[in-house]
Amino acid sequence: MCGICGVYDYDNAIDHELFERMVDVVAYRGPDDRGTFYGEGIALGHRRLAIIDLSDEGHQPFRYRNRYHLVYNGEIYNYVELREQLQKKGYVFATKTDTEVLAAMYDCYGENCVKQMNGMWAFAVFDEQKKILFCSRDRFGIKPFYYYQEEKKLIFASEIKQIVLMAQKDMYVNRQRLLDFLIMGDLDHTEETMFRDIRQLRGGYNLIVDMQNGVCIRKKYYDLGETVFGKQSYKAACREFHKLFEKSVKLRLRADVPIGYCLSGGLDSSAIVCMADTILKSGGKEIKQHTISACCDDKEYDEQEYIDEVVRHTRVDAHKIFPKEEELFAHLDEIIWHMDEPFGSTSMFAQWNVFRCAGEQGLTVMLDGQGADEQLAGYTDFYSVALAHFLRHFRLLTFARELHAYCKSRRVSEKYVSAFDVIANAVVSAFVPDGLKKYVRRKLKYGCKDLPFPEKMIEETLQRRKRYDVGNPRQYSLDRMQCSMAALLHYEDRNSMAFSIESRVPFLDYRLAECIYSMPISYKVRNGMTKAVMRDGLTGILPDKIRHRVSKLGFVTPEDKWINNNFEKYRAEVLQACEQLKPVVNQKRVMEWFDKNAHGIKRGDYLAWRLICAGHWIQIYKVKFE
Q: How confident is the model at residue 414 (pLDDT cuts 50, 70, 90)?
A: low
In 419-462, which ranges are E strands?
none
- Asked if the model's pLDDT at residue 416 lies above 60, the reply is no
Q: What is the mean pLDDT of residues 599-618?
A: 88
- Asked if the model's pLDDT at residue 421 lies above 90, the reply is no
pLDDT at 465: 64
- Asked if the model's pLDDT at residue 438 lies above 70, the reply is no
C-alpha span between 10 and 214 (Å, rounded) = 6
Q: Which of 204, 217, 88, 249 is nearest to 147 (CA)?
A: 217
- Asked if the model's pLDDT at residue 86 lies above 90, the reply is yes
Length of the chain in terms of residues written: 626
Q: How many helices (H) and strands (E) does the chain have?
A: 25, 17
Q: Which letter does DSSP use for residue 195 in this model?
A: B
Burial code of 594-610, b = ≥16 C-beta within 10 A, e = fewer? beebbeebeeebbbbbb
Torsion of CA 417, 419, 425, 426, to 10 degrees: 130
pLDDT at 413: 60
Q: Which letter does DSSP use for residue 63 in this model?
A: E
Which residue has better confidence, 110 or 447? 110
**How far does CA 465 lie from the centroid of its chain?**
19
- Asked if the model's pLDDT at residue 441 lies above 70, the reply is no
Q: What is the mean pLDDT of residues 50-69?
A: 95
3-class SS of residue 587: helix
Give the contacts of 555 (CB within 8 A, at least 6 positions apart).
Answer: 262, 264, 294, 347, 350, 351, 354
Q: Which letter does DSSP use for residue 172 in this model?
A: B
CB 347 within 8 A of CB 557: yes
Q: What is the mean pLDDT of residues 196-203?
A: 97
**How far does CA 201 lie from the centroid of its chain?**
14
Residue-range domains of the chain with CATH: 2-222 (3.60.20.10), 227-375+499-547 (3.40.50.620), 379-482 (no CATH), 559-621 (no CATH)
Other CB atoms within a 10 A radius of the CB of residue 592 amount to: 12
Q: What is the mean pLDDT of residues 177-204?
A: 96
C-alpha span between 266 and 385 (Å, rounded) = 22
Active site residues: 2
Q: Percentage of the chain surpassing pLDDT 70? A: 94
- Asked if the model's pLDDT at residue 286 lies above 90, the reply is no
Q: How confident is the model at residue 601 (pLDDT cuts 50, 70, 90)?
A: confident
Which residue has better confidence, 551 or 202? 202
pLDDT at 453: 84
pLDDT at 346: 95
pLDDT at 397: 94
pLDDT at 574: 96
237-282 confidence digits (pLDDT tens): 999 999 999 999 999 999 999 999 999 999 999 999 999 999 999 9
CB 232 within 8 A of CB 335: no
Question: What average pLDDT is seen over the chain?
Answer: 92
Q: What is the mean pLDDT of residues 569-590?
A: 96
Q: What is the mean pLDDT of residues 299-307?
A: 92
Q: What is the mean pLDDT of residues 219-240?
A: 93
- Asked if the model's pLDDT at residue 511 lies above 60, the reply is yes
CB 551 within 8 A of CB 305: no
Stretch (H or E) spanning 576: helix 567-580
Q: Which of 613, 620, 594, 276 is nearest to 451 (CA)?
A: 594
pLDDT at 409: 80
C-alpha span between 270 and 124 (Å, rounded) = 35
pLDDT at 420: 76
**How far does CA 32 lie from the centroid of its chain?**
25
pLDDT at 500: 98
